[in-house]
Amino acid sequence: MSRPENYRNILVVEDEWLIAIDIKMMIEELGHRVIGPARDVASAMTLIGSHQIDAAFLDITLGTEKSYPVADNLDDLGVPFSFVSAYAKNQIPARFHGFDLLPKPLMPHNLTRQLTKMLGKAP
């Protein structure tokens, strides 16, 4: 699909390649540009520092680390994000309970609805 003039940059942080590619394709089908996918915290932080990010989807567990530092950074920047994980809300730190947690596997209609919601909050 060709990008509309108002496409947005969406960060994807996901360490499982097939899941990352699936999310990337869903976002691109909606006409947006994917930044990443980043496989770890360091890569995600580099992408945040070098790109304008309008919204993000974050897997919580990235190999042996968690994406919470990425979430904190995005929150400090005012960038809307959603976690994508098999975790339940009570399994994540309380400071993140106000953020949306989408179940894996991420279904296209859930991604579309959530991305619309996040972009409505984007600066």
60-93 b/e (C-beta count within 10 Å ≥ 16 → b): bebeeebbbebbebbeeeebbbbbbbebeeeebe
Q: Running DSSP on this structure, what letter comes out for residue 123?
A: -
Q: Tokens in use for 120?
A: 């409505």
Q: Which domains does the chain have, with CATH numbers?
A: 9-121 (3.40.50.2300)
Q: What is the mean pLDDT of the chain?
A: 93
pLDDT tens digits, one per residue of 70-102 = 999 999 999 999 999 998 889 999 999 999 999
Q: What parts of the chain have a pLDDT lower than 50?
A: 1-2
Length, in residues, of the chain: 123
10, 83, 85 from 111: Cα distances, Å: 12, 11, 13
pTM for the full predicted model: 0.93
Q: Tokens in use for 119?
A: 């972009």
